[in-house]
């Protein structure tokens, strides 16, 4: 019997502070991975370990959370931004950088904040406060369900939307420019909902939360299957 793929899952910080000494995460990420046959493992925010994590894990989930600090990317910070812990941001950017080079074949899924971090890492930009630019920004908050339209071919996302024609959103920020990544789906009001890098095996960001919707099971099985290594050292 083949070993279960080891899926590294990012952690959040209580009160968005590393000094709180407490990590947080929604249980649904690990539940979806384990239900689909994967072995979830939560990654502590230690930059010195990113190469070890990149080597040991078969796939990665960059999870949701509050807002990234855009100042290191040359963008002023919106006054209503609620920043994640700087230690989390530094760790995730370091891991994304490591995965972009020697481990580019490892599948990566970004959810909500995770997608935004992927876009920033790829040279993109964020719309930092949707209510400033959208009268219907509330339709993307508080687990609202809404439609998503494909704008480029991506079988991974297309198969999910066959099962989940309306997706579950909870965000105040969005990707305004995906940088080197490709936009593959938008909501009818123009919000970028999914991005990918078609040059990599599986490198996808979703603005919505597939872990919160039971009918996304086929998507999670496909993600975990993509993480299955061809061979594992013994």
pLDDT tens column, 14-70:
999 999 999 999 999 999 999 999 999 999 999 999 999 999 999 999 999 999 999
Q: Which domain holds residue 200?
A: 6-226
What pLDDT band is residue 230 in, cutting at 50, 70 and 90? low
Contact 185, 131 (CB under 8 A): no
In the chain, count of helices (H) and strands (E)?
A: 6, 14
pLDDT at residue 159 tops 60? yes
Q: How many domains does the chain have?
A: 1
Report percent pLDDT > 90 for the chain: 78
Report percent pLDDT > 70 for the chain: 97
Contact 42, 25 (CB under 8 A): yes
User: Please, where are the H alpha helices in 46-167?
Assistant: 50-56, 86-99, 113-121, 155-163
Residue 14 within any structural domain of the chain: yes
What pLDDT band is residue 234 in, cutting at 50, 70 and 90? very low
Determine if residue 47 is left, alpha or beta; phi over 0 gives left, psi from -120 to 50 gives alpha, anything else beta. Answer: alpha
Residue 1 within any structural domain of the chain: no
C-alpha radius of gyration, the chain, whole number: 17
Residue 120 within any structural domain of the chain: yes
How far apart (Å, rounded) are the C-alpha atoms in residues 137 and 18?
30
Please give the pLDDT value at position 141: 80
């Amino acid at each position: 019997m083949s070993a279960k793929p080891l899926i590294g899952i990012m952690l959040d910080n209580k009160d968005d502070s590393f000094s709180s000494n407490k990590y947080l995460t929604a249980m649904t990420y690990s539940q979806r991975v384990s239900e689909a046959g994967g072995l979830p493992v939560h990654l502590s925010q230690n930059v010195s370990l990113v190469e070890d994590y990149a080597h040991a894990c078969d796939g990665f989930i960059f999870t949701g959370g509050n807002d990234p600090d855009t100042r290191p990317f040359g963008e002023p910070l919106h006054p209503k931004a609620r920043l994640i812990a700087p230690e989390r941001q530094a760790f995730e950017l370091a891991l994304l950088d490591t995965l972009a080079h020697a481990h580019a074949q490892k599948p990566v899924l970004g959810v909500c904040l995770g997608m935004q971090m992927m876009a920033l890492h790829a040279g993109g930009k964020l719309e930092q406060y949707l209510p400033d630019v959208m009268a219907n920004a509330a339709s993307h908050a508080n687990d609202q369900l809404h439609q998503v339209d494909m704008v480029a071919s991506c079988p991974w996302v297309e198969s999910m939307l066959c099962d989940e024609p309306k997706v579950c959103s909870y965000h105040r920020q969005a990707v305004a420019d995906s940088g080197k990544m490709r936009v593959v789906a938008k909501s009818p009001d123009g919000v970028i909902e999914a991005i990918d890098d078609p040059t990599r095996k599986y490198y996808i960001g979703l603005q919505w939360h597939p872990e919160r919707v039971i009918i996304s099971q086929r998507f999670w099985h496909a993600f975990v299957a993509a993480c299955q290594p061809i061979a594992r050292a013994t």
